[in-house]
Amino acid sequence: MNCRTTRALGAVNTVLLRDGRRIGHNTDLFGFGENFRRGLANAARKRVVQVGAGGAGAAVAHALLSEGVEQLTIFDSDAGRATHLAADIATRFGSGRAVAGKNLAGAMATADGVVNCTPVGMAKFPGLPLQAELLHPDMWIADIIYFPLETALLHAARQRGCRARRRRDGGLPGCAGVPAVHRHGAQRRTHAAPLQVLALKPRRFVH
């Protein structure tokens, strides 16, 4: 990932120390994009809902639009943050490609997919990022939470008869390829960082 892209995201999660300089990188963009290409290559992507507009949310939003999502509706507990991210994305991808959501239920009703970019569902922040009743069998769901593997969101979907696939299942990869920068800057290699993908209609996916 080049510095221009990192600056556009406005967030870093990895800092490389080289020759007395600190160089910021954001591995979430590469990681989510790579996992999306592997596990959701044939997924419908006309309308996607994203919950969470923080640093990870910015990276995921950029990755989703880079992967061909036609319109991304962003929700956040801080409405201003969602508006800011949508406006920022518009400068790179064009007007209307991302909008700040106002009606979650309405957006979910017509969404092809949903991505959770909030910490809700982590062991320290248990719960659901949205109402389970809003899930419907015509959508795919991705949860970027690292741990636990079975988040409340995935559990709620399972209770509705949804099919969850992880890397350990031998189907959809449950990891995102994250470029790890060698501390001497001489190598780049790919590590696996967990990303759970839930397919509510498995026939849309390539196994």
Q: What is the CATH number of the domain that holds 173?
A: 3.40.50.720
Q: Does residue 197 lie within any of the structural domains?
A: yes
How confident is the model at residue 14, as a pLDDT? 67
Q: Does residue 81 lie within any of the structural domains?
A: yes
Pairing of strands 113-116, 163-165: unpaired
Short-list 72, 73, 74, 71, CA closest to 54: 74
* Low-confidence residues of the chain: pLDDT under 70: 1-14, 23-28, 161-207
CB atoms within 10 A of CB 143: 27
Give the count of domains, the chain: 1
Q: Does residue 6 lie within any of the structural domains?
A: no
How confident is the model at residue 167, as a pLDDT? 29
Q: Does residue 39 lie within any of the structural domains?
A: yes
Task: Tell me the per-residue pLDDT of 144-162, one tens digit each, with 9 for 90 and over.
Answer: 887 888 889 888 877 776 5
Short-list 191, 170, 206, 154, CA closest to 40: 206
**Residue 168 belongs to what domain range?**
14-204
Task: Tell me the per-residue pLDDT of 115-134, one tens digit each, with 9 for 90 and over.
Answer: 999 999 998 999 999 999 99
Q: Does residue 8 lie within any of the structural domains?
A: no
Packed helices 79-93 and 55-66: angle between N→C axes, nearest 10 degrees: 30
Query: In the block, which residue shows the tokens 């008869």?
Result: 161
Q: Does residue 7 lie within any of the structural domains?
A: no
CB atoms within 10 A of CB 94: 10
Distances (CA, A) of 195 to 45, 46, 51, 73: 19, 22, 15, 21
